Structure 1
């Protein structure tokens, strides 16, 4: 295990999971053959009958929060009922947070929350944000959240801003994330997760308020990988794809050696739910402004524990698969990335832009921008990114 700890740098920040050493977005991105975990021969070891006991999280106390609320936030969140209780306890407090996404006035925006069910019978949390009554809906936008995030909290403000511009916005929490059922932070099969999201979005497209309208899909960080997999599975079902700081290739300088990948693959079979990977705090790399970095800590139901072994393998598989299919990305495409992002590489977004077969593609890089360009930047940068998204959507809706 020592070799694995020295070679891997996985953790679960607010919006992503792979920490890389920073490289200038100006230098050339070199090609590297990414090992395929599926091609590794299975190692023959006896599987121990070990059952891991899950304990309450022992994260740092949230600054400025009462002891009672910190106690609520630090309870065991492995299962959905606990996450739902904690979210209910914090929902009024969230509205008072000093962040532009919580302070914007979007009076009249209609919201709805419900639980859909996937084909395996799991409850999946869904939410919609619709324009004010009487305002025409231009199109629908479905959102895929990041690994250490949820479809509520920060996205509430993002969704309201886009809905105010005439779009019906929809989002879901993946199984095991946010308010949906499933073991917290556990991805047993990335393609299965993608299929779960497709199920819910397919149902959403049939809702009366948006039936027959154009539909776009947007993903942030790991949600970018989910979005790309959805597009690759159903390339003709979306009118456009928006990617924000997408995780679509593991940066070369954090790709573990082949021997470590083999060990990781074995551990994911033996102890798939075990939290094996050391947590490394990289919020300072995700949020440029200190105040907004502190605000992120109030998203108390986001996954902040060490990464589970199967989850790590599934994310590696997913990004490896995406990297081999970048040329198959054919939808109208908008990619948004901070030039100073040290979590996901802006050079990879440049590579996606160059290799995709889309004839309608735009890459926007934001000077000095960190990973969370929609949450952690100065207010004017956040509003610029939001305006760029709405402008791009408007131009595709009214092009004909």
Structure 2
């Protein structure tokens, strides 16, 4: 099911949901997509797998992404984007049909940072979080040299929407399988251009903030990361696991896997990752019964 609703800031937000066909909903999974991505295309298969396992899955395109309102690829404030996500998922959870159900955040890449920021603002509102290659720190291969980074940061004050950040082939760096990398080019509503200056600055600032707040993460946590990921730093996922104050936390590192664990790997790896996620969710849902 898909819909377009106007949020409190006047943006039209595109959202989509998936449900199990012949069984009651066990729990809610609220998905936060990655940079440049959407809540459709690749995520469709993931959502259908989760729904087939008994979960109600909810997702939205952030303002400026996918089919939602806003300048494409522009994030003037990461905290404001997080507030938009909270507003949307709060409406979902307030539905009388779902109020008694456990709810989980599911964040992928930049969406992992969104999910963690949601948790920081709502520390007791969620029953757990699944973070796939979370953007807690950008890989060194993605960042421009320090002097250029400082220059771009200064220019962003005057020209926040300008596309001056040196381009990187995100699909090549993130997708291990060539055929799946080629499929990414067919996602015509994904943002594939150079990052806008303000967006790049907001992402960098957000990772720096999260890296300093790892000990504040207190909810049940499953972290999944590819060992060969050069887009988001696997070592920071390991630091998140070590420093998080959660009493219930687990980390799974996949040998030789790239960034896009659920889209760009061989099918056997993708199925393994999904099975690991469903198994973790099953155990946490059993604890809330």
Correspondence 1:25-40 to 2 at 5 A: none
Find out whether 1:289 has 2:177 as its counterpart: yes
Q: 1:270 aligns with which of 158, 165, 174?
A: 158
Q: 2-side partners of 1:253 and 1:377: how far apart?
A: 20
1:301 equivalent in structure 2: 189
Measure, in 2, the Cα distance between the counterparts of 1:306 and 1:388: 34
**In structure 2, what is the equivalent of residue 352 of structure 1?**
240
1:123-134 equivalent positions in 2, closer than 5 A: 123-132=12-21, 134=22
Distance in 2 between the 1:141 and 1:376 partners? 22
1:168 equivalent in structure 2: 56
Q: 1:341 is matched with which residue?
A: 229
Q: CA deviation at 1:264?
A: 2.7
1:154 corresponds, among 17, 37, 42, to 42
- Corresponding residue to 2:205 among 314, 317, 320: 317
- For structure 1, the 5+ residue unaligned runs are 1-111
TM-score w.r.t. structure 2 length? 0.96
CA deviation profile, 1:104-132 (whole Å, cap 9, x unmatched): xxxxxxxx111122221111111100110
Pairwise CA distance, 1:278:
2.4
Task: Find out whether 1:120 has 2:13 as its counterpart.
Answer: no
Residue 250 (structure 1) shift = 3.0
Give the distance between the partners of 2:149 and 2:226, measured in 1 at CA.
29
User: What number of residue pairs does the alignment pair up?
Assistant: 288
**Is 1:191 the equivalent of 2:72?**
no
The alignment's C-alpha RMSD in Å is 1.5
CA distance in 1, matches of 2:41, 2:139: 28
Deviations 1:10-59 (A, max 9, x none): xxxxxxxxxxxxxxxxxxxxxxxxxxxxxxxxxxxxxxxxxxxxxxxxxx
Rg larger for: 1
Q: Is the 8 A contact 1:168 1:210 kept in 2?
A: no
Residue 136 (structure 1) shift: 1.4
Q: Distance in 2 between matches of 1:338 and 1:256?
A: 22
- 331, 337, 342: which one aligns with 2:219: 331
Ranges in structure 2 where 5+ consecutive residues have no aligned partner: none
Provide the rounded CA distance (Å) in 2 between the counterparts of 1:382 and 1:257.
Answer: 33
Is the contact made by 1:116 and 1:200 (CA closer than 8 Å) also made in structure 2?
no
CA distance in structure 1 between the aligned counterparts of 2:53 and 2:79, rounded to whole angstroms: 33
Q: CA 1:354–1:122 in 2, change beyond 3 Å: closer, same or farther?
A: same
Secondary structure of the residue that 2:193 maps to in structure 1? coil
Q: Tell me how far 1:282 sits from its aligned partner.
A: 3.7
Residues 250-259 or 210-219, more deviating: 250-259
